[in-house]
Amino acid sequence: MKNLVRELRMEHGLSQGELATELDVSRQTINSIEQERYTPSLPLALGLAHFFGKTVEEVFDANGSR
Amino acid sequence: MRTAAGRRHSKWVVPLFSLALGFLFLGIQWSNGDPGSGLVSFAIMVGFGAVILFGGRSETIRGLRGDGRDERFRQIDVNATAFAGLVVITAILVGFFVELARGNDGNPYGLLGAVAGLAYIAAIVWQRVRS
C-alpha cells in the first residue's frame, strides 16, 4: 500500500531501527511497509499515524494514488 | 485492540522443547534397543535447539525462536504453516492412493487424512464463530 512512512521517518530524523523500536516491531517490518511489500494491521497503521501526528488517511493511501 | 507487537514468548521455549523432544527420541529408541539411533536423534534435536538459541540477530531465527515476532512475522508464520499443511496433506493423499493401488486398505494414510479433514473443518467453524 502506498504510504508516506519513509518520508515522515526521514523528516523526524529516525532510522528504520529507531522507528521500529518506538512501535515495537522489527526493523524489517518498517522496511517492508516503506517498500510497500507489507500492509500493516489497523493497530500498527494507527500507531504509525499517531506517532507522526497524522491521520491514517494522511499516511496511507489504499487507492495507490499517493 | 491487539497491539502491533502482540504475543511473544521467551527465547528459551523452542530450544527447551527441542531438548525435551531429543530426550523423548533418545528414551524411546534406547528402550527399543537402538541407543545409537537414539543418540543421533538426540544430537540432531540439541543441535537444532542450539542454532535457534544462539542464532544471533537473524530475523528468521528470532522469529522461529519466538522472541522476535511481530505482526508481520506472525503472518509469515501462518502462511508457512498453511503451506506446510498443504504439503503434508498432499503427501497423505498420495500415500493413501498408493496404498489403495497396492490392494491395501489405505491406512494409516486414510486415518491421517480424516484427522486432517476434520481438524480443518473444526478450525473453520471455530474461526467463523470467533470472528
How would you write the pLDDT of chain B (131 residues) with one tens digit per residue?
A: 544 555 567 888 889 999 999 999 999 999 999 999 999 999 999 999 998 888 877 888 888 887 778 999 999 999 999 999 999 999 999 999 999 999 999 989 999 999 999 999 999 999 999 98
Angle at A50 between CA A48 and CA A52, to 5 degrees: 70
**ipTM of the complex in this document:** 0.86
Where residue A6 falls among pLDDT bands split at 50, 70, 90?
A: very high
B127 has a chain A CB within 8 A of its CB:
no
Contact call for B71 and A29, based on CB within 8 A:
yes
Burial of B48 (0-12, 13-18, 19+ CB in 10 A): middle
B60: CB partners within 8 A, 6+ apart:
none
Q: Are B9 and B77 in contact (CB under 8 A)?
A: no
Residues from chain B that touch A44, judged by Cβ atoms under 8 A, are: 4, 71
Q: Are B16 and B49 in contact (CB under 8 A)?
A: yes
Model pLDDT, residue B7: 59
B20: CB partners within 8 A, 6+ apart:
none
Model pLDDT, residue B3: 47
Model pLDDT, residue A64: 66
Q: Which amino acid is at A6?
A: R
Min Cα distance B54 → chain A (Å) is: 19
CA dihedral angle for residue A24, residue A25, residue A27, residue A32, rounded to 10 degrees:
-140
For residue range A44-62, list pLDDT tens digits in order: 999 999 999 999 999 999 7
Min Cα distance A23 → chain B (Å) is: 7
> Closest by alpha carbon to B4, among A1, A40, A32, A34?
A40
pLDDT for A28 beyond 80: yes
Cell numbers at B73, concatenated: 512475522
Is the backbone of residue B70 left (phi > 0), alpha (psi -120 to 50) or beta?
beta
Model pLDDT, residue B64: 84
Q: How far is CA A60 from CA A34, A36, B115, in A?
A: 11, 10, 43
pTM here is: 0.78
A1 has a chain B CB within 8 A of its CB:
no
Q: How far is CA B41 from CA A3, A48, B48, in A?
A: 49, 46, 11
Q: How far apart are CA A31 and CA B72, in angstroms?
A: 11
Q: Which amino acid is at A56?
A: V
Cell numbers at B17, concatenated: 522443547
Model pLDDT, residue B6: 53
